[in-house]
Amino acid sequence: MNFARGMSSNSLMRWSGTVLALGVAAFLAGRDGSAQPKPGAAPPPAVTVAKPVKRTLSDYDEYVGRFTAVNTVEVRARVSGYLDPIHFKDGQMVKQGDLLFTIDRRPFQTTLDQAKGNLQQAQANLAFAEADLARGAQLVRERTITEQTFDQRTQAKRVAEASVAAQTAAVKQATLDLEFTELRAPVAGRIGDRRVSPGNLVTGNTTGTTSLLATIVSIDPIRFEFAFDEASYLRYERLAKGGRDMTSRDSSSLVSIKLLDEQDFTHQGRMDFVDNVIDRSSGTIRGRAVFSNPDGVFTPGMFARVRVPGSPSYNALLVPDAAIGTEQTRKYVLTAGADDVVVLKYVTLGQVFDGMRVIKSGLQEDDRVIVNGLMRARTGQKVTPETEAPPKPVAESAQINAN
């Protein structure tokens, strides 16, 4: 106010005109947009974009199950006797035919020698009866002996033949009992610990109570048993009837497993059996697959997760799982439009495979999905997109988790 009083009227008018001209110029410049941005204004944020990856995939289902041995054999004695030295170490791998236990052979050797002696005696009696019968045939023709005497010699020969047959069987039985004193592995696999120490009397027989000496379980190949629900069973059967290679009784579809300390399903096997009934109490049915086990890592009773085909092959679009956003119950991705403006698209998600999420609907193959810099992107805001290198292609007909 003091400044205005100190100025002349002409000077005041000139100063007011200058201020007004500058204001009008600034207003016009703001309207036509030709003015330069203000110093310090932030440029559009930089984001990384990538197009969805197109792959041929198959859904899979996962179940928990246990390994079981193809063959489980209890080693029991067939003859009774005192146990002699043991020829294996507890828990070792054995081959079919390997000697495991030996029972004292001496009593059985004595029985065999006696049976052989009785056989020789019976053979001698048979030889005499045959010769006597031959002489009787000539004498009966000459009427030297009666028909009754000849019949007696014939009967004596038959008795001698029967005695030889009986003693021959006795020799075979004694030989078999002697062989049974050596207990050999009936199958290849891993043997457990010994149940009887040397020097103990073991009871052997083909019937009744016998002594359990050890147990052998086969290791390679090995079976994996698991149970799946009735709805999955119906889905598998109907897809299999449509010519699909699914988890059914009539197919040997490829399956894979991972152990409790593994991250990936790296062990491959094939289905070989589906049970014929559904369990009433649990509503599940039992399935079985076979796996090779050359290094013996899989052990009967061990837990693992199995992955089985759950759908036919189909074409799918995949984006990094980190690019998926959540808005209450809906899922979305941010894309960069043709004018580099952020566009929000709601999507329907599928499963995850190697960090990539399957998009079932809501996304096109040529969309540019923002995969990095999501915190800087806002819907309707312009961004500076940078294209990300495409990921390494996954194997064709890869499988993805349907659970």
Across 314-325, average pLDDT:
86
Q: Are residues 84 and 170 in the same domain?
A: yes
Which comes out higher in pLDDT, residue 32 or 233? 233
pTM above 0.85, yes or no: no
pLDDT recorded at residue 140: 67
User: What is the reported pLDDT for 225?
Assistant: 95
Domain assignment present for 4? no
Residue 141 within a domain: yes
| CB 331 within 8 Å of CB 369 | no
Same domain, 200 and 248: no
Range of the domain at 275: 61-70+221-309
- Residue at a domain's end among 217, 251, 284: 217
In a domain, 331, yes or no: yes
Measured distance CA(24)–CA(15) in Å, rounded:
15
Q: Are residues 77 and 211 in the same domain?
A: yes
β 342-353/356-361 pair status: antiparallel
Mean pLDDT score, 351-355: 78
- Residue that is last in its domain, among 252, 287, 309: 309
The verdict on residue 248 lying in a domain is yes
Q: Is residue 229 part of a domain?
A: yes
Q: Is residue 25 part of a domain?
A: no
79 exposure class (CB count in 10 Å sphere: 0-12, 13-18, 19+): buried
To the nearest whole number, what is the mean pLDDT of the chain?
Answer: 82
Q: Give yes or no: residues 169 and 87 share one domain.
A: yes
Residues 203 and 323 in one domain: no
127-138 pLDDT per residue, tens = 888 887 777 777
Of 192, 217, 242, the domain-final residue: 217
Is the C-alpha dihedral spanning 190, 195, 198, 200 positive or negative?
A: negative
Report how far residue 240's alpha carbon sits from residue 237's, in angstroms, rounded to the nearest whole number: 5
> In this predicted structure, what is the pLDDT of residue 102?
93
In single-letter form, the type of residue at position 173 comes to Q
Question: What CATH number is given to the structural domain containing 212?
Answer: 2.40.50.100
Pair (179, 108) in one structural domain: yes
- The reply to whether 78 and 205 lie within a common domain is yes
Look up the CATH number of the domain holding residue 304.
Answer: 2.40.30.170
Based on the fold, state whether residues 89 and 207 are members of the same structural domain.
Answer: yes
Place of tokens 């440029």: 43
The number of domains in the chain is 3
Kindly state whether residue 37 falls inside one of the protein's structural domains: no
Mean pLDDT for the stretch of residues 30-57: 69
Which tokens sit at 332?
Answer: 């979305």
Q: Are residues 207 and 77 in the same domain?
A: yes
On whether both 108 and 169 belong to a single domain, the answer is yes
Beginning with the edge strand found earlier in the chain, give each strand of the sheet holding 212-217 in spatial order.
72-76, 212-217, 189-191, 93-94
Q: Report how far apart, in Å, the C-alpha atoms of 125 and of each of 51, 156, 299 are.
A: 100, 9, 60
- Is the predicted pLDDT of residue 391 greater than 70, yes or no? no
Phi, psi for residue 376 in degrees, rounded to 5: -95, -15
Do 159 and 185 lie in a common domain? yes
pLDDT digits (tens, 9 = 90+) for 260-281: 988 888 899 998 889 989 999 9
| 5 assigned to some structural domain | no
